Amino acid sequence: MDCLFCKIIAGEIPGTKVYEDEDVYAFRDINPIAPVHVLIVPKKHISGASEINSDNSAVVAKIFEAAAKIARAEGYPDSFRIVTNCGEDAGQTVHHLHFHLLAGVKMGWSANTGI
């Protein structure tokens, strides 16, 4: 499958791995918008949050467990943001489910909707 994040998980494209377990992979965003900007993804391809269902949703819990571990390891155990963009209007650019873990800066609250 021609998927950038599947290729990073497979080691076919370089990525800066910060965490891996049986089901979850995490690596640094190539274009960070915060001092800590890690992408946490299921190893098994899911195209986005709209494709989460009762057969594959267990990995989402694993991803949030991984997020808490990574935030601790990065030095921000109790102050971080997790975001997932789904679909065109939300600005999803890579169609492999991913959660942005952001930390290390005081964040405002705006979805940049222009409203």
Which range binds ligand 5GP by CB under 6 A, 24-32, 54-62, 71-79, 103-111?
Answer: 24-32
Q: What is the DSSP string of 34-45?
A: SSEEEEEEESS-
Q: Which of 18, 38, 96, 100 binds Zn ion (CB under 5 A)?
A: 96
Distance from C-alpha of 102 to C-alpha of 65, rounded to nearest angstrom: 15
Indicate the residue among 75 and 91 with the shorter CB distance to ligand 5GP: 91
HSE of 57, CA atoms in CB hemisphere, 13 A: 4
9 binds, among Zn ion, ligand 5GP, none (CB under 5 to 8 A by kind): none
Is 37 tagged catalytic?
no
C-alpha torsion sign, points 51, 55, 56, 58: positive
Q: Is 6 in the site for ligand 5GP (CB under 6 A)?
A: no
Q: Are 3 and 95 in contact (CB under 8 A)?
A: yes
Name the site residues for ligand 5GP (rule: CB under 6 A): 4, 15, 27-31, 39, 85, 91-94
